[in-house]
Structure 1
Amino acid sequence: MESEVIEVIARQAAVVRSVREEAEAGRALVESVGRTEGWRSPAQRAFAVRARELSVTLELLLGQLGHTAAALERAAAARALAGVDSVGGAESVGGAELGEVWSR
């Protein structure tokens, strides 16, 4: 189960990275035009600021996705060491029901 979720997270992270790169490219273009040709309007400056804010927010989201994937990998490894195959169902560990193991 974790492997499927980790794959989804990896795909989401790729999309977020792509959007972040586009935001950075747009910001860089607007700032470049602003510097070379002069800021023509407050909207140009506002766009550059918002694009930078978006980039920072997306970077934070990437970090959270990475932390989530790492936590899932650690949980899967812990269950594997404990001899538990999955979170759901009636699996047992050393004679104890899975629910009992997780409630300890």
Structure 2
Amino acid sequence: TLALSVVERRRENAMVRALGMTKGDLRRMITWETVLIAGVATLVGVAMGIGYGALGLHALPIGEATRHLVIPWDQVAVAALISFLAALMASIVPARLAAKASPVEALADVG
């Protein structure tokens, strides 16, 4: 998704480079975008997982006294860390490609 986003925004990236943004700044901008997307996806995923888990627990035909929702926060934290690291690794190549593109050629590219 990130690579496709970078390809689709080639002209926008070229425009900010032409306005004075450095290659490093562009790479950092794309990396921050990736981290924010991964953060929101992680929060939504954890919230939905807890919600579906609670609904599934209450749908079981067992007594109320034996129902206890236990959330393994250490496992959730490890999964969140892995998702952030995967997002950072996924941002390396698209960010380099976006920073490597010449602003003049990207702005001249009509199609």
Give the TM-score range, shorter chain.
0.3 to 0.5
Higher relative CO (CA 8 A, sep ≥ 6), structure 1 or 2?
Answer: 2
TM-score, normalisation: structure 2: 0.40
TM-score, normalisation: structure 1: 0.43
Between Structure 1 and Structure 2, whose CA radius of gyration is higher?
1
